[in-house]
Amino acid sequence: MKQTHSHRHPAVKRNCTSHSPKLWCSCDIESDIRKVRDVEEAILSQCQMHAFTDRDLFALKLAVEEAINNAIRHGNRSDTSKQIHIKYRVTPRRCDIVIEDEGDGFNPAAVPDPTSEHNLEQTSGRGLLLMRAFMNSVVFNESGNAVTLTKFNDSIRQTSRHRVAFG
Amino acid sequence: MLKDKEKDTAPIKLTHNGELTVVEFNVRKLLEENEITEMGRQLTSYIESQLKPKIIISFAGVDHLSSSALGTLITVNYKVRERDGQLRLCSINPQIYEVFLITKLNKLFRIFPTMEEAKASLEKPSS
Protein backbone atom coordinates (compact mmCIF):
# COMPACT_ATOMS: atom_id res chain seq x y z
CA MET A 1 0.00 0.00 0.00
CA LYS A 2 1.32 3.41 -0.92
CA GLN A 3 1.82 5.68 2.05
CA THR A 4 2.85 9.27 2.26
CA HIS A 5 5.96 10.17 4.21
CA SER A 6 3.87 11.84 6.86
CA HIS A 7 2.17 8.54 7.70
CA ARG A 8 5.44 6.71 8.01
CA HIS A 9 7.19 9.48 9.89
CA PRO A 10 4.78 11.31 12.17
CA ALA A 11 7.69 13.46 13.38
CA VAL A 12 8.07 14.96 9.90
CA LYS A 13 4.39 15.80 9.71
CA ARG A 14 4.13 17.14 13.24
CA ASN A 15 7.13 19.43 13.02
CA CYS A 16 6.64 20.63 9.50
CA THR A 17 3.05 21.81 9.65
CA SER A 18 4.24 25.05 11.24
CA HIS A 19 4.89 27.97 8.92
CA SER A 20 7.81 29.19 10.98
CA PRO A 21 10.85 29.16 8.70
CA LYS A 22 13.14 28.84 11.73
CA LEU A 23 11.73 25.51 12.80
CA TRP A 24 13.81 22.40 12.41
CA CYS A 25 12.02 19.22 11.38
CA SER A 26 13.36 16.00 12.83
CA CYS A 27 12.76 12.29 12.46
CA ASP A 28 14.29 8.95 13.40
CA ILE A 29 14.19 6.27 10.73
CA GLU A 30 15.43 2.70 10.58
CA SER A 31 18.50 2.03 8.43
CA ASP A 32 16.59 1.39 5.22
CA ILE A 33 17.40 3.56 2.21
CA ARG A 34 13.79 3.46 0.91
CA LYS A 35 12.45 4.85 4.18
CA VAL A 36 15.15 7.49 4.48
CA ARG A 37 14.43 8.54 0.90
CA ASP A 38 10.90 9.60 1.90
CA VAL A 39 12.47 12.27 4.09
CA GLU A 40 14.88 13.21 1.29
CA GLU A 41 11.86 13.77 -0.98
CA ALA A 42 10.16 15.92 1.68
CA ILE A 43 13.31 18.09 1.93
CA LEU A 44 13.65 18.46 -1.83
CA SER A 45 9.99 19.35 -2.28
CA GLN A 46 10.34 22.12 0.33
CA CYS A 47 13.41 23.43 -1.52
CA GLN A 48 11.44 23.33 -4.76
CA MET A 49 8.67 25.38 -3.10
CA HIS A 50 11.31 27.98 -2.22
CA ALA A 51 12.45 28.07 -5.87
CA PHE A 52 15.89 26.58 -5.34
CA THR A 53 17.47 26.18 -8.79
CA ASP A 54 17.54 22.85 -10.66
CA ARG A 55 21.27 22.73 -10.07
CA ASP A 56 20.72 23.22 -6.31
CA LEU A 57 18.19 20.37 -6.29
CA PHE A 58 20.59 18.09 -8.19
CA ALA A 59 23.38 18.98 -5.75
CA LEU A 60 21.17 18.39 -2.70
CA LYS A 61 19.91 15.03 -3.93
CA LEU A 62 23.43 13.91 -4.75
CA ALA A 63 24.89 15.00 -1.41
CA VAL A 64 22.01 13.65 0.69
CA GLU A 65 22.13 10.29 -1.12
CA GLU A 66 25.86 10.02 -0.42
CA ALA A 67 25.44 11.05 3.23
CA ILE A 68 22.59 8.63 3.95
CA ASN A 69 24.39 5.80 2.17
CA ASN A 70 27.47 6.46 4.31
CA ALA A 71 25.30 6.58 7.45
CA ILE A 72 23.52 3.32 6.66
CA ARG A 73 26.40 1.29 5.24
CA HIS A 74 29.47 2.57 7.07
CA GLY A 75 27.89 4.09 10.19
CA ASN A 76 25.12 1.65 11.08
CA ARG A 77 26.64 -1.21 9.02
CA SER A 78 23.19 -1.85 7.49
CA ASP A 79 21.88 -2.95 10.90
CA THR A 80 18.15 -2.20 10.69
CA SER A 81 17.84 -2.16 14.47
CA LYS A 82 19.95 1.02 14.38
CA GLN A 83 18.43 4.32 13.34
CA ILE A 84 19.30 7.31 11.21
CA HIS A 85 18.43 10.65 12.83
CA ILE A 86 17.68 13.48 10.39
CA LYS A 87 17.08 17.13 11.22
CA TYR A 88 16.46 19.71 8.54
CA ARG A 89 15.41 23.29 8.04
CA VAL A 90 14.52 24.90 4.73
CA THR A 91 14.19 28.66 4.39
CA PRO A 92 13.96 30.76 1.21
CA ARG A 93 17.70 31.36 1.48
CA ARG A 94 19.18 28.04 2.57
CA CYS A 95 18.71 24.40 3.36
CA ASP A 96 20.48 22.76 6.32
CA ILE A 97 20.38 19.01 6.89
CA VAL A 98 21.91 17.06 9.78
CA ILE A 99 22.29 13.31 9.21
CA GLU A 100 23.39 11.28 12.23
CA ASP A 101 23.96 7.54 12.52
CA GLU A 102 24.45 5.29 15.57
CA GLY A 103 27.90 4.09 14.57
CA ASP A 104 31.31 4.84 16.05
CA GLY A 105 32.00 7.68 13.62
CA PHE A 106 35.14 8.24 11.56
CA ASN A 107 37.85 10.81 10.96
CA PRO A 108 37.04 12.64 7.70
CA ALA A 109 40.61 13.97 7.54
CA ALA A 110 41.91 10.40 7.26
CA VAL A 111 39.92 9.65 4.07
CA PRO A 112 42.40 9.34 1.19
CA ASP A 113 42.11 11.75 -1.76
CA PRO A 114 40.20 9.73 -4.40
CA THR A 115 41.41 12.05 -7.19
CA SER A 116 45.09 11.25 -6.71
CA GLU A 117 46.56 9.19 -9.52
CA HIS A 118 47.21 6.35 -7.09
CA ASN A 119 43.54 6.17 -6.02
CA LEU A 120 41.79 6.98 -9.29
CA GLU A 121 40.82 3.35 -9.92
CA GLN A 122 39.60 2.69 -6.38
CA THR A 123 35.95 1.64 -6.59
CA SER A 124 34.84 3.54 -3.48
CA GLY A 125 35.68 6.59 -1.36
CA ARG A 126 34.22 9.41 -3.49
CA GLY A 127 31.10 10.26 -1.44
CA LEU A 128 32.76 12.81 0.81
CA LEU A 129 34.48 14.53 -2.11
CA LEU A 130 31.14 14.88 -3.93
CA MET A 131 29.36 16.22 -0.84
CA ARG A 132 32.05 18.86 -0.37
CA ALA A 133 32.04 19.81 -4.05
CA PHE A 134 28.26 20.23 -4.34
CA MET A 135 27.40 21.77 -0.94
CA ASN A 136 28.30 25.22 0.39
CA SER A 137 29.35 23.62 3.65
CA VAL A 138 29.90 20.08 5.00
CA VAL A 139 30.67 19.88 8.72
CA PHE A 140 31.14 16.73 10.82
CA ASN A 141 30.71 16.56 14.58
CA GLU A 142 33.72 15.64 16.70
CA SER A 143 33.08 11.91 16.71
CA GLY A 144 32.30 11.84 12.98
CA ASN A 145 28.90 10.14 13.19
CA ALA A 146 26.89 13.25 12.23
CA VAL A 147 27.27 15.52 9.23
CA THR A 148 25.64 18.89 8.58
CA LEU A 149 25.09 19.76 4.93
CA THR A 150 24.29 23.35 3.93
CA LYS A 151 23.18 24.59 0.53
CA PHE A 152 22.28 28.19 -0.26
CA ASN A 153 19.46 28.96 -2.68
CA ASP A 154 21.32 30.01 -5.78
CA SER A 155 18.28 31.73 -7.34
CA ILE A 156 18.43 34.31 -4.51
CA ARG A 157 22.19 34.71 -4.90
CA GLN A 158 21.74 35.17 -8.64
CA THR A 159 19.06 37.81 -8.03
CA SER A 160 21.38 39.64 -5.59
CA ARG A 161 24.21 39.58 -8.11
CA HIS A 162 21.80 40.87 -10.77
CA ARG A 163 20.79 43.73 -8.44
CA VAL A 164 24.43 44.63 -7.80
CA ALA A 165 25.19 44.59 -11.51
CA PHE A 166 22.10 46.40 -12.78
CA GLY A 167 20.49 48.01 -9.76
CA MET B 1 19.95 -15.01 -21.72
CA LEU B 2 17.75 -12.91 -19.51
CA LYS B 3 14.30 -14.20 -18.66
CA ASP B 4 11.39 -11.90 -19.59
CA LYS B 5 10.86 -10.84 -15.98
CA GLU B 6 14.54 -9.91 -15.63
CA LYS B 7 14.40 -7.90 -18.88
CA ASP B 8 11.57 -5.78 -17.42
CA THR B 9 13.52 -4.96 -14.27
CA ALA B 10 17.05 -4.82 -15.71
CA PRO B 11 18.55 -1.34 -15.28
CA ILE B 12 20.40 -1.57 -18.61
CA LYS B 13 19.70 -2.76 -22.13
CA LEU B 14 22.46 -4.20 -24.31
CA THR B 15 22.15 -3.93 -28.09
CA HIS B 16 24.63 -5.85 -30.23
CA ASN B 17 25.54 -4.46 -33.63
CA GLY B 18 28.28 -6.53 -35.20
CA GLU B 19 31.26 -6.36 -32.88
CA LEU B 20 29.95 -3.24 -31.12
CA THR B 21 27.70 -3.37 -28.07
CA VAL B 22 25.69 -0.32 -27.07
CA VAL B 23 24.51 -0.05 -23.48
CA GLU B 24 21.54 2.14 -22.61
CA PHE B 25 19.80 2.70 -19.30
CA ASN B 26 16.21 1.79 -18.49
CA VAL B 27 16.34 3.99 -15.39
CA ARG B 28 16.76 7.76 -14.98
CA LYS B 29 18.44 7.49 -11.59
CA LEU B 30 21.39 5.18 -10.96
CA LEU B 31 21.05 5.22 -7.17
CA GLU B 32 19.54 1.91 -6.13
CA GLU B 33 22.17 -0.49 -4.84
CA ASN B 34 20.42 -3.56 -6.27
CA GLU B 35 20.21 -1.95 -9.73
CA ILE B 36 23.87 -0.92 -9.64
CA THR B 37 24.86 -4.46 -8.64
CA GLU B 38 22.69 -5.87 -11.44
CA MET B 39 24.25 -3.46 -13.96
CA GLY B 40 27.71 -4.66 -12.89
CA ARG B 41 26.64 -8.29 -13.13
CA GLN B 42 25.14 -7.90 -16.64
CA LEU B 43 28.15 -6.02 -17.99
CA THR B 44 30.74 -8.29 -16.38
CA SER B 45 29.04 -11.39 -17.69
CA TYR B 46 28.97 -9.91 -21.22
CA ILE B 47 32.60 -8.69 -21.10
CA GLU B 48 33.82 -12.06 -19.89
CA SER B 49 32.12 -13.75 -22.86
CA GLN B 50 34.03 -11.60 -25.38
CA LEU B 51 37.61 -11.69 -26.66
CA LYS B 52 38.04 -7.94 -27.25
CA PRO B 53 34.80 -6.27 -26.15
CA LYS B 54 33.85 -2.97 -27.81
CA ILE B 55 31.32 -1.20 -25.65
CA ILE B 56 29.70 2.23 -25.72
CA ILE B 57 27.66 3.18 -22.65
CA SER B 58 25.15 5.93 -23.42
CA PHE B 59 23.94 8.00 -20.48
CA ALA B 60 21.11 9.59 -22.50
CA GLY B 61 18.14 10.06 -20.17
CA VAL B 62 20.14 9.49 -16.97
CA ASP B 63 19.82 12.44 -14.59
CA HIS B 64 21.32 11.13 -11.32
CA LEU B 65 24.04 8.71 -10.30
CA SER B 66 25.79 7.80 -7.07
CA SER B 67 29.43 7.27 -6.22
CA SER B 68 28.58 3.57 -5.97
CA ALA B 69 27.59 3.59 -9.68
CA LEU B 70 30.94 5.23 -10.46
CA GLY B 71 32.66 2.38 -8.60
CA THR B 72 30.88 -0.18 -10.79
CA LEU B 73 31.86 1.71 -13.97
CA ILE B 74 35.50 1.65 -12.79
CA THR B 75 35.31 -2.14 -12.38
CA VAL B 76 33.76 -2.44 -15.86
CA ASN B 77 36.52 -0.28 -17.34
CA TYR B 78 39.15 -2.45 -15.66
CA LYS B 79 37.60 -5.67 -17.00
CA VAL B 80 37.36 -4.30 -20.55
CA ARG B 81 41.01 -3.21 -20.44
CA GLU B 82 42.00 -6.61 -19.04
CA ARG B 83 40.54 -8.21 -22.18
CA ASP B 84 42.22 -5.68 -24.46
CA GLY B 85 38.82 -4.20 -25.33
CA GLN B 86 37.53 -0.65 -25.78
CA LEU B 87 35.04 1.24 -23.62
CA ARG B 88 33.52 4.62 -24.41
CA LEU B 89 30.98 6.71 -22.49
CA CYS B 90 28.72 9.23 -24.24
CA SER B 91 25.66 11.51 -23.97
CA ILE B 92 26.33 12.46 -20.35
CA ASN B 93 24.24 15.42 -19.19
CA PRO B 94 26.18 18.49 -17.95
CA GLN B 95 25.37 17.97 -14.26
CA ILE B 96 26.53 14.36 -14.30
CA TYR B 97 29.57 15.30 -16.37
CA GLU B 98 30.49 17.66 -13.53
CA VAL B 99 30.58 14.60 -11.24
CA PHE B 100 33.13 13.01 -13.61
CA LEU B 101 35.18 16.25 -13.61
CA ILE B 102 35.16 16.61 -9.80
CA THR B 103 36.22 13.00 -9.30
CA LYS B 104 38.73 13.34 -12.19
CA LEU B 105 37.23 10.20 -13.71
CA ASN B 106 37.15 12.08 -17.02
CA LYS B 107 40.87 11.17 -17.08
CA LEU B 108 40.14 7.47 -16.64
CA PHE B 109 37.22 7.10 -19.07
CA ARG B 110 37.06 8.12 -22.71
CA ILE B 111 33.97 10.34 -22.78
CA PHE B 112 32.31 11.76 -25.91
CA PRO B 113 29.41 14.20 -26.28
CA THR B 114 27.48 12.04 -28.77
CA MET B 115 27.07 8.40 -29.79
CA GLU B 116 28.38 9.24 -33.28
CA GLU B 117 31.61 10.67 -31.86
CA ALA B 118 32.00 7.70 -29.53
CA LYS B 119 31.58 5.29 -32.47
CA ALA B 120 34.05 7.24 -34.60
CA SER B 121 36.65 7.03 -31.82
CA LEU B 122 36.69 3.22 -31.75
CA GLU B 123 39.81 1.70 -33.22
CA LYS B 124 39.18 -0.37 -36.30
CA PRO B 125 40.83 -3.78 -36.61
CA SER B 126 44.03 -3.49 -38.63
CA SER B 127 43.65 -5.02 -42.10
Q: Residue A113's closest chain B neighbor by CA? A: B103
Whether pLDDT at B9 is above 80? no
Indicate yes or no: CB of B66 within 8 angstroms of CB of A69: yes
Do the chains contact at B74 and A123, CB–CB below 8 Å?
A: yes
The overall average pLDDT reported for chain B is: 92
Asked whether the beta carbons of residue A123 and residue B71 sit closer than 8 angstroms, the reply is yes
ipTM: 0.89
| Set of chain B residues whose Cβ sits within 8 Å of the Cβ of A66 | 66-67
Q: Indicate yes or no: pTM above 0.95.
A: no
**Shortest Cα distance from B127 to chain A (angstroms)?**
33
- Tell whether B72 is within 8 A of chain A (Cβ): yes
Domain boundaries, given as residue ranges, for chain A: 5-166
Q: B4-116 sits in which CATH class?
A: alpha beta
Q: Helix-strand-coil percent breakdown of chain A, rounded to 5? A: 45, 20, 35
Instruction: Tell if the CB–CB gap between B75 and A123 is shorter than 8 Å.
Output: yes
Residue numbers in A near B92 (CB within 8 A): none
Of all helices (H) and strands (E), which one includes residue A128?
helix A127-134
DSSP chain B: ---HHHHHH-SEEEEEETTEEEEEES-SEE--HHHHHHHHHHHHHHHTT-SS-EEEEE-TT--EE-HHHHHHHHHHHHHHHHTT-EEEEE---HHHHHHHHHTTTTTTS-EESSHHHHHHHSPPPP-
Chain A residues whose beta carbon lies within 8 Å of the beta carbon of residue B33: 33
Q: What is the mean pLDDT of residues B111-121?
A: 98
Residues 3-62 of B with CB under 8 A from A: 31-33
Separation in Å, CA of B37 to nearest CA in chain A? 13
Interface test mutation site (partner A, options B35, B43, B67, B104, max chain A beta carbons within 10 A)? B67
- Ordered mean pLDDT values, 10 residues apiece, chain A (167 residues): 38 47 87 91 97 97 97 95 97 97 96 96 97 98 98 85 59
Supply the CATH classification number for the domain A5-166.
Answer: 3.30.565.10
Query: Which tens digits make up the pLDDT trace of B18-52?
Result: 999 999 999 999 999 999 999 999 999 999 999 99
Cβ contact, residue pair A33, B33, below 8 Å? yes
B79 touches chain A (CB under 8 A): no
Enumerate the residues of chain A whose CB falls inside 8 A of the CB of residue B40. Answer: none
What's the DSSP call for residue A35? H
From A65, A129, A130, residue closest to B31, measured CB to CB: A65
